[in-house]
């Protein structure tokens, strides 16, 4: 039976926030002018992250009411339950323990459902590290005796988005002579483009699928296996083919029988647990490709970054608890100010996949219309996360954020020290880049009045077109540099932001039943595409007409 949930709209804090929002006229210019200490008071640190919340559309009263909402909806009680291993994923009756993946060795043991979680995690991590060292050192070779030069991760969803995002973000730390590539889409183009210039003799595949049954992943794995056999001209004999697979494929899976049937040595299968959701798994064995690329020492730093933010979220009082406050701000924008989307704008090319990663984390977690007790929600939940690196976005969609009719809260991410400091004719290019970062948040907050536009000598008929209303909310998140630890901190920050929103709304942020129906229907429709007349006739008129068109035009 589902645990009792709550309706946040019945709390006193919700009513007070509604009245407060209706009465408030945002005025960042006025608030800053009247309160010289605003920026200092609303800037907080978590580990290496320096977080400025002062350009958000909140007053001290807003924050007070949001903290009351968190208390009245039991956010911190639910957080404690998560860390303790209680089964807060109620629809699957599971603990939610991604935070255990990054607990350092030597802490008081965490036992959940009779299992020593810490011992399990450390044992699997040691196995991943040992494998990573073999590949990096050249001890692990392909079937021809050549060292591995390219690792191809085959997965989808959390088994792809996390590893590829982190690998791209930490390019500066990748081992010389090694590259990683990633295949996720069942579109054959993805695998073909990924492998077409690779040498099978120096390529290693990591097949990441907990059940070793994910349709897209296993289809791509079989295609990759055939590519390997063809490229190495392996004779059509079971022993020869199995030997090639054993040297060029490993798995991240707990379905050892299926792994063995595929041809992978089960000694080279790395596992994780039911209490790890796919979108929370980059710091588990799902991150094996990253551990190979950056090495065990750097991967340990990555995990330490997560843990630092976990401890901040777990122990810091609510008034200075950065991820919880940021989650509450998101609730404020979604439920009281009508925001429907949230932009994440990293001023770092290395983080170009970070917004896509957050799309799964936030939208799969909180895209729910039913509470964890099975009752319908009574308010909006979730928001659309999106973004691109600055300054690219400035020349694309920032127009809508600055002067459009929609409220779009935006998080700006930046780093003080670049991985590649360059100058252009004596100009520090990173300083120029950062000038854009600072200018954008300032422009969004304070805008430009008609009087200021006229003072520049602008013709009256275009004055209004050049007015910027301001009061466009932003959060600035900065760190000294983009290190493995800082990346772990950023990911954990958004995990706990997402958690906070779900806890307020009373929804289960850790299941994802919404992805199942389309997968089931795809299996039912597939025969209709290959000649099954009955399957075709069973479709609705629109789907049948679309399939008919496809079949007529398929060459």
Active centre residues (catalytic): 364, 395, 519
Q: Token match 């792994």: residue?
A: 259
- Give the containing element (helix H, strand E) for 117: helix 117-137
3-state helix, strand, coil in the chain (%, to 5): 55, 10, 35
Q: In this structure, what token pair is assigned to residue 380?
A: 């909006």
What would the DSSP string read from start to end of 349-408? GGGTTHHHHHIIIIIIHH--SB-TTSPBPSS----EEE---TTTGGGTTHHHHHHSSS--
> Which residue, 99, 64, 6, is CA-closest to 499?
99
Q: Give the span between the Cα atoms of 181 and 171, in whole angstroms.
A: 12
Residue 191 near residue 234, CB atoms below 8 Å? no
Whether the bond between 526 and the residue before it is cis, its omega within 30 degrees of 0, is no
What would the DSSP string read from start to end of 70-83? HHHTTHHHHHHHHH
Q: Give the span between the Cα atoms of 352 and 345, in whole angstroms.
A: 9
**Sequence-ordered strand ranges (E) for 431-543:** 474-479
> Which residue, 310, 351, 352, is CA-closest to 494?
310
> Which residue, 106, 163, 454, is CA-closest to 285?
163
């Amino acid at each position: 039976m589902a645990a009792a949930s709550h309706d946040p709209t019945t709390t006193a804090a919700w009513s007070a926030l509604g009245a407060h929002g209706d009465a408030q006229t945002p005025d960042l210019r006025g608030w800053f002018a009247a309160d010289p200490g605003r920026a200092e008071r609303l800037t907080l640190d978590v580990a290496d992250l320096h977080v400025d919340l002062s350009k958000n559309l909140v007053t001290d009263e807003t924050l007070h009411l949001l903290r009351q909402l968190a208390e009245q909806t039991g956010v911190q009680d639910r957080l404690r339950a998560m860390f303790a291993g209680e089964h807060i994923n109620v629809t699957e009756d599971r603990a939610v323990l991604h935070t255990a993946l990054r607990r350092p060795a030597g802490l008081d043991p965490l036992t959940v459902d009779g299992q020593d979680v810490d011992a399990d995690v450390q044992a699997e991590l040691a196995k991943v590290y040992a494998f990573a060292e073999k590949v990096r050192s050249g001890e692990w070779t392909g079937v021809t005796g050549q060292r591995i030069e390219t690792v191809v991760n085959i997965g989808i969803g959390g088994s792809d988005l996390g590893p590829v995002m982190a690998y791209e973000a930490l390019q500066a730390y990748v081992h010389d002579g090694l590259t990683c590539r990633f295949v996720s889409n069942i579109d054959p183009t993805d695998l073909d483009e990924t492998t077409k210039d690779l040498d099978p003799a120096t390529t290693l595949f990591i097949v990441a699928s907990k059940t070793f049954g994910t349709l897209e992943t296993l289809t791509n794995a079989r295609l990759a296996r055939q590519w390997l056999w063809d490229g190495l001209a392996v004779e059509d004999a079971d022993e020869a083919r199995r030997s090639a697979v054993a040297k060029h494929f490993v798995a991240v899976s707990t379905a050892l029988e299926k792994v063995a049937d595929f041809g992978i040595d089960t000694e080279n299968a790395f596992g994780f647990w039911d209490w790890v959701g796919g979108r929370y798994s980059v710091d588990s064995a799902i991150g094996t490709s990253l551990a190979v690329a950056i090495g065990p020492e750097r991967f340990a730093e990555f995990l330490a970054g997560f843990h630092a933010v976990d401890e901040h979220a777990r122990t810091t009082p609510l008034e200075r608890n950065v991820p919880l406050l940021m989650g509450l701000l998101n609730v404020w924008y979604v439920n009281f100010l009508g925001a429907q989307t949230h932009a994440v704008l990293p001023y770092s090319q290395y983080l170009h996949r970070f917004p896509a990663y957050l799309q799964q984390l936030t939208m799969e977690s909180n895209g729910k219309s039913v509470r964890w007790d099975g009752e319908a929600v009574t308010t909006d939940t979730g928001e659309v996360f999106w973004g691109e690196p600055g300054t690219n976005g400035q020349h694309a969609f920032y127009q809508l954020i600055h002067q459009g009719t929609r409220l779009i809260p935006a998080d700006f991410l930046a780093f003080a020290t670049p991985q590649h400091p360059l100058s252009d004719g004596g100009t520090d290019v990173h300083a120029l880049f950062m000038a854009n970062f600072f200018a954008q948040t300032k422009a969004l907050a304070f805008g430009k009045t008609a009087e200021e536009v006229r003072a520049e000598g602008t013709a009256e008929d275009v004055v209004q077109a050049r007015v910027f209303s301001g009061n466009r909310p932003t959060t600035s998140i900065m760190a000294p540099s983009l290190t493995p630890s800082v990346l772990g901190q950023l990911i954990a920050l958004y995990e706990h932001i997402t958690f906070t929103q779900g806890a307020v709304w009373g929804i289960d942020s850790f299941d994802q039943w919404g992805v199942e129906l389309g997968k089931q229907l795809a299996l039912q429709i597939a025969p209709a595409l290959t000649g099954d007349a009955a399957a075709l006739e069973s479709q609705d008129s629109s789907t049948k007409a679309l399939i008919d068109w496809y079949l007529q035009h398929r060459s």
